[in-house]
Chain A
Amino acid sequence: MWDLFLSVFINFMLLIYNFLGQQTIVAITIVTLIARLITLPLTLKQQQTSQNMQKVQPKMQELQKKYANDKEKLAQEQMKLYQEAGINPLGGCLPLVIQMPILFALYQSIIRVLAVSPMELLRLSQNIYMPELTRLIPLNSTFLWLDLGQPDPYFVLTVLVVLTSWLSQKMLTPPSTDERSAAMNQQMQLMMPLMFGFISMSYASGLSIYFIISNLVTMLQYFILRNDRFKPEEDAGKDKKKDKKDKKKE
């Protein structure tokens, strides 16, 4: 079943490769963009939930303080708060879970069409359903100084992966008023780009192209759909300034 799903991606990527100049980098870019477009409604839903969650954070903290010693009551009040705000608590992670198979299939199909090792190429033989596409194998994997089946020897893509991962993480991570969450977010913002950087440094650079395109799309989505996400932080900043002014007056 999974192989069938994967084959859809692979054949589609090969078709794009065939019709758009037989450049693997173009095929990877187009398929990544299309996959992100397909998952856009889910991404939006997830972002919406994340924003709503953020809005009720102050009230949530109040509840946590108020019912610190009564877990059952706290859970009830939290559910009530979610209901009042029209939030589905699973609304944040459910779209991500649904997106996962698509992203995994995309990732695996990139690895497979690049077919760096004989084993990967043998597996690829089971995924091509249109015989006329087999004449394309192996794909032209060179682009500028890169062999997309190998890591970038000059680490240019690695730097870009780390940079775009960090930026997209920074944009997407909602500001937290809770100190522990803020510290964790900060750690994640550092660790994730480094981890993706390590992957980029060690594996096929075609995968790095996928990471970079994906991060750029995430950032683009953020700019297009930008909303009052950072307002609480700005407000908090204003409040701090106001406090300082008040103290000076005193």
Chain B
Amino acid sequence: MLLLFAAALLSGCSGGARASTWTGLVIDDGVVYVADLTHVRAFDAESGAQVWTFPRDESGGGPFYTATIQPGEALFVTSEEKASGLFSFAQARNVLRALTIDPNDPDGRRELWAFDAAEGTYVSGGAVSDNLLVIGNGDGNVYALNTESGAMVWTFTTENRIWAKPLVVSDTVYVSSLDHHLYALDVENGRPRWEQPFQAGGAIAGQPLVYDGLLYVGAFDNKVYALQQEDGTVVWEAEGQNWFWGTPTTDGSAVYAADVNGNVYAWDAATGSLVWDEHVDDLVHIGPALSQDHHILVVAGSDGSLYGLDTSDGVVLWEQPGEGEIASMVIDGDYVYISRIASSDSVQAFYAENGRNLWTFSSDS
């Protein structure tokens, strides 16, 4: 009986090769880059043809979780690797690597540098500003690294994990932390720009959105806040039914966000008054994304489905069911690109207009 109990405990804990966080996807110049657990993969955005993988061998490495692009220059990927040593299986080594992305490079994907000083998991990618990569870590620190050498330029410590991608706007970087704060830092030296960081009533796990002098950010106190970009004061706040995790999006007139229960909201961007709300039958942790023409709002459900909503009234225009948790979503041009975990269809592209599948990369093939 005890053996059964222990076996169940073990299976509950490990359950095979389970990802410890979500996988990231970025697009640059017609190429989709995905940190696809065992490999970092590059695909032609139009056809889905695999351009390259890192590492080259089949067995791979990693697991790789996040990807950040410095257009035309480098790809920064993070992985959670086994530490060496006697009890290595108990320890993880969090590595941030810079890879070349030059298609003419005869060496393929060369590693430029690696940074392994962070002690926590990288849950989201970073932001690049000139020659600086700013990235948050589960150890509560924001790291600013020189993109060419990987040398640390500055760090800033928050009181809890950082799971959101920082947002760089001109000379300021905005950092969300699970310590309930949103920080505005000088991108050059990491010094705080606001007198006080903005404090929400719950953890902040998503990247803020900036539009027309306002910052929009969701929190675990079931609220989305509109803040003055200059000083972080609250302009308006709107409430949902559960936590807001993902980044809101806007077309200028309305701000769109989804709470984790799958309630999707459109608020007036200036006043915060509710325009419409709709429900999708799924958990949602990724911020919704707008199609190029701003007519469709695409919502990614954690359980695997994609939904296309009419931005004028919130009506669900199309639904694309799928298997495997959707880990990240990016809209580029007419297409929606997603990465999945716990699914063989690990990378997929769809038409934003109708949800039709454009291509699928199956990691089994």
Q: Give Cα A199–Cα B3 distance, bound, in whole angstroms.
A: 13
Mark B3-23 against chain A: 1 for CB-CB distance below 8 A, else 0.
101101110110000011110
Query: A residues touching B (Cβ–Cβ < 8 Å)?
Result: 93, 96, 100, 103-104, 107-108, 111, 116-119, 121-122, 125-126, 131, 134-135, 137-138, 151, 153, 155, 188, 191-192, 195-196, 199, 201-203
B149 CB, min distance to chain A CBs, angstroms: 30
Q: Which among B91, B285, B302 is the interface contact of A153 at CB below 8 angstroms?
A: B91
| Inter-chain contact B161/A134, CB cutoff 8 Å | no
A92 CB, min distance to chain B CBs, angstroms: 9
Chain A residues near B242 (CB-CB < 8 A):
125
Q: Give Cα A117–Cα B205 distance, bound, in whole angstroms.
A: 12
Chain B residues near A121 (CB-CB < 8 A):
205
Q: Which among A118, A134, A188, A201 is the interface contact of B220 at CB below 8 angstroms?
A: A134
Chain B residues near A201 (CB-CB < 8 A):
87, 89-90
Q: Give Cα A135–Cα B178 distance, bound, in whole angstroms.
A: 10
Knowing A135-B201, A199-B9, A202-B89 are in contact, say whether A122-B221 is a contact too (CB < 8 A).
no
Q: Give Cα A108–Cα B243 distance, bound, in whole angstroms.
A: 21
4 cross-chain pairs, A with B, having the tightest CB-CB distances, nearest first: A125-B260, A151-B90, A195-B6, A201-B90
| Inter-chain contact A119/B21, CB cutoff 8 Å | yes
| Inter-chain contact B302/A122, CB cutoff 8 Å | yes
Q: Which of B5, B222, B261, B283 has the most CB of A within 10 A?
A: B5
| Inter-chain contact B221/A134, CB cutoff 8 Å | yes
20 residue pairs bridging A and B, Cβ less than 8 Å apart: A96-B1, A104-B8, A108-B12, A118-B163, A119-B22, A121-B205, A122-B245, A122-B302, A125-B242, A125-B260, A134-B202, A134-B220, A134-B243, A135-B220, A135-B221, A138-B160, A138-B161, A192-B6, A199-B6, A199-B9
What secondary structure prevails in chain B residues at the interface with A?
Answer: loop
| Inter-chain contact B203/A122, CB cutoff 8 Å | no
B328 CB, min distance to chain A CBs, angstroms: 12
Chain B residues near A153 (CB-CB < 8 A):
90-91
Q: Give Cα A195–Cα B9 distance, bound, in whole angstroms.
A: 10
Chain A residues near B203 (CB-CB < 8 A):
137-138
Q: Is B74 an interface residue (CB 8 A)?
A: no
Q: Which among B9, B20, B180, B202 is the interface contact of A117 at CB below 8 angstroms?
A: B20
Q: Which among B13, B178, B302 is the interface contact of A203 at CB below 8 angstroms?
A: B13
| Inter-chain contact B87/A107, CB cutoff 8 Å | no
Chain A residues near B12 (CB-CB < 8 A):
107-108, 111
Closest B residue to A121 by CB, please name it. Answer: B205
Q: Which among B6, B161, B283, B325 is the interface contact of A196 at CB below 8 angstroms?
A: B6
